[in-house]
């Protein structure tokens, strides 16, 4: 996504400094989503082997839905 955003901005004639700022922002979001995906996977793995409350499962499902929606670029 970072590369794609920079390409689009460059095609639109946006200056290098502005492109770098936008690229850094997209990179930060990508890193956060990746971290969230790893956390959701880890928590889901633990829940498979340990008794988990319904509330915890629903919370985890919400996180998983967010990660999957982002990966598939599907938004409600």
Q: What is the residue range of 37's domain?
A: 2-72
Tell me the average pLDDT of the chain: 82
Is the pLDDT reported for residue 1 higher than 80?
Answer: no
Contact criterion met (CB below 8 Å) for 31 and 40:
no
Q: What pLDDT, on a 0 to 100 scale, did the predictor assign at position 76?
A: 56
- Tokens 């967010």 label which residue? 66
Write out the H or E segment, with its range, that includes residue 65. helix 54-72
Contact 33, 70 (CB under 8 A): yes
What's the structural domain count of the chain?
A: 1
Q: Residues 7-44: pLDDT tens digits?
A: 999 999 999 999 999 888 888 878 877 787 788 888 88
């Amino acid at each position: 996504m970072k590369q794609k955003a920079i390409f689009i901005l460059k095609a639109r004639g946006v200056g290098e400094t502005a492109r770098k700022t936008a690229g850094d922002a997209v990179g930060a979001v990508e890193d956060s989503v990746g971290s969230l995906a790893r956390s959701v996977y880890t928590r889901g793995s633990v829940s498979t082997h340990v008794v988990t409350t319904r509330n915890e499962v629903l919370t985890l499902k919400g996180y998983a839905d967010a990660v999957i929606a982002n990966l598939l670029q599907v938004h409600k």
